[in-house]
Amino acid sequence: MPYSHFPTQRHNIEQRIVQKAWAEPEYRDRLLADPKAALSEALGVELPERLRVEVVEEQPDLLCIVVPVDTSGVPYPEAQVMMGVAPMAPLSASR
C-alpha cells in the first residue's frame, strides 16, 4: 500500500476531513452515507475491518460532543495514540 501523506494525528485528520467535506459536496454526501469508505478514500489507506467510523452532521438544533476514551491506567505511549495526540502506526487490514 502506498505511503499516505495525510496527517496521522486525530485532530489533523478530523480537520482535513471537515475541510474536504465543506469544499466538496459530493464527498460530504459520501462521508455521511458511508463514513468508513469515505475516510478510507481520503486517507488513501484501507481501514481495518474492526474499526467503526461514525459521522454526525451538526445542525442548528443539535450539538455533538465526543467523550474521549478514558485512558487512566493505560501506559503513556498507548494513551497518547488513543487520545489522538501521537502519531499512530499506519492502519492496515492486516491488523
Q: What is the pTM of this model?
A: 0.65
Q: How far apart are the first and last CA of the chain?
A: 14
**The pLDDT of residue 51:** 83
Please report, in tens digits, the pLDDT of each residue of the chain (95 residues total). 444 454 557 778 889 999 999 999 999 999 999 999 999 999 888 888 888 889 999 999 999 888 877 767 766 666 555 555 555 455 444 44
Give the separation between CA 87 and CA 9, rounded to whole angstroms.
5
Give the separation between CA 19 and CA 26, rounded to whole angstroms.
13
**The pLDDT of residue 47:** 84
Domain boundaries, the chain: 10-53+66-83
Within the chain, how many helices (H) and strands (E) appear? 4, 0
